[in-house]
A and B are shown apart, each in its own frame.
Chain A
């Protein structure tokens, strides 16, 4: 386990370095932050030059990059242009909101998707199975930027059951979590159905049944246990998708998370803030995939953590 963690940790450093380099390079092409911050008709060239100097944007790009990487190595992500404050606390202040949203979305997906998939497989070709399969198909096709507004229309505008936006109470979490969770929910239901169908025909299931084990025990102890590997993999793969979906969901529901922060930072050409937020998003994605890899060994002892 320990060598694995060391090697993966090294890989993580490389990925983070590359991701921040890509962010650095791409952002430099998006425009001039100084022009965004100073209205051209009211400023003198001297003021522009002074601000450019203050932000360090008058240095050659490669010096800026060297400074950036040097600071990154010490955990310093620089200062936001817009907020004139260090980036790290600004980003960290937003991380919990995004984790809360993504966690709630995954919880919705697992709590609804897994039982639906199991039921669908156990009662294959029943009315329920057809309903679940069709619904999960629609769930994959429904874009979050449609589902979000429609849910707001139905549950916040027409009937005033839930608030349209904001953060803090559980009522405010429901609509964003359902919007963001629908896609992984539908995927999970489909995956669990096909996995359970596969596993149900295996020899060890017949053995378990023939020794008199109840159907419920067969399902929970044998079938789901075997299927859990794929379930966990899918959740891990979805973390990247969730972070992308979170950008849109947070915009729709005015959710103060890291996705909304990064979109605002990019549009404002706030280079340090955008770079910092991207680094944290990549960190969350890569860490989630790492945890998924680690959990394989726990779920299936045959998987050697090599």
Chain B
């Protein structure tokens, strides 16, 4: 049997979507378009890419960008030092960026939220310890932590996602803890307690649902940061193995040919800018709607 909350949920989701639709600004629409494009390109890479991302043609190495109409043989965004098509590599790179940043954000959000909520809700010595850990990690540039971890783990997509999640969970822990502390004192929690609800039910039914908007906003911002962070690690030679067409690897290779083949460096960077700008626009909009007081 559906609970009252579940029965009400369908129309309220519908109403929520209508509210979102009414408040869709031009910037937000642009963000939505950019993010959908990013996701669509990542999903349909095999159909979109004009060539195989690792198909080499040494006679066509460092060919400048040229477009002679659909179906023609020119390299639209140029070719790299092994004659691989830069456009196809960027398209496949979108997959890597999307998967790494989404996995890392999921991990960071899950770990940070659970720790932060429990810490804020129950308090006690565990809370003190957690907050000290957060303080320490805040004083530690996340890039350094990631660099050190990358030397330990073999660079693969799940490992990079884990490393990024480890460097990014503190944001959630800090903010969720404060929010849980504040929510704990609210009347509806007292009311739930008065009718006999136990802590677990209060957390699941009253605290966590109220945190979802903030989590969403934080996660959107973080996806953009992780897209850049993955590329930064590859750029420093600490990311995915060379040859894997991640955006950072493309730029790392491009940097060595800056003089003779600027397109190898410039276009992958443009892909990063478009993806992060899109996610950023979307994030700003979500913040304005869901959690306008959040300062991030």
Q: Which A residues are within 8 Å of any B CB, using their own CB?
A: 11, 14-15, 18-19, 22-23, 26-27, 29-31, 137-138, 140-143, 145-146, 149-150, 152-153, 157, 240, 243-244, 247-248, 251-252, 262-263, 266-267, 278, 281-282, 285-286
A141 to B143, CA, bound (A): 17
Closest residue to A269 on the B side, CB-wise? B151
Report B127-155 residues with CB < 8 Å from chain A CB. Answer: 132, 135-145, 147-149, 151-152
Q: Known contacts being A30-B148, A266-B148, A266-B151, is A146 close to B236, with CB within 8 Å?
A: no
Decide: B266 and A286 in contact? CB cutoff 8 A.
no
Contacting B272 at CB < 8 Å: which of A15, A143, A282?
Answer: A143
Q: State whether B224 touches A149 (Cβ < 8 A).
A: no
Interchain CB contact (< 8 A) of B255 among A26, A149, A243: A149
Contacts of B181 in A (CB 8 A): none
B259 partner residues in chain A, CB cutoff 8 A: 153, 157
B 254-265 to A, binary, CB cutoff 8 A, 1 in contact else 0: 110011001001
B200 → chain A, closest Cβ, in Å? 32
> Given the interface contacts A143-B231, A248-B236, does A240 sit within 8 Å of B272 by beta carbon?
no
Does B157 make an interface contact (CB < 8 A)? no
Which secondary structure characterizes the binding site on chain B?
helix
By secondary structure, the A interface counts as helix
Q: In the complex, how many angstroms separate the beta carbon of B80 from the nearest chain A beta carbon? A: 15
Interface contacts beyond A19-B139, A141-B224: sample of 19 additional A-B pairs, CB < 8 Å, sorted by A:
A15-B135, A18-B135, A26-B145, A29-B152, A30-B151, A30-B152, A31-B152, A140-B277, A141-B276, A143-B273, A146-B272, A149-B265, A244-B141, A244-B143, A247-B143, A248-B232, A281-B141, A282-B140, A285-B141
Q: How far is the CA of A26 from the CA of B142 in the complex (A)?
A: 13
- What are 5 sample pairs from A and B whose C-beta atoms fall under 8 A apart? A22-B145, A137-B281, A141-B224, A143-B231, A143-B232
Q: How far is the CA of A244 from the CA of B138 in the complex (A)?
A: 12
Residue B92 at the chain A interface, CB threshold 8 Å: no
* B139 / chain A contacts, CB cutoff of 8 Å: 15, 19, 240, 282, 285-286
B269 within 8 A of A: yes
Q: Could you tell me if A22 and B228 are in contact, using CB atoms closer than 8 angstroms?
A: no
Instruction: For B147, list chain A residues within 8 Å (CB).
Output: 247, 263, 266
A157: B residues at CB distance < 8 A: 258-259
Nearest residue (CB) in B for A245 is: B143
Does B265 contact A19, Cβ atoms closer than 8 Å?
Answer: no
Q: Would you call A14 and B132 a contact (CB within 8 A)?
A: yes
**Partner of B235 from A145, A150, A278 at Cβ < 8 Å:** A145
Among residues of B, the one whose C-beta sits closest to the C-beta of A282 is B139
Q: Is B251 an interface residue (CB 8 A)?
A: yes
The answer to whether B140 touches A278, judged by C-beta atoms less than 8 angstroms apart, is: yes
A37 to chain B, nearest CB (A): 16
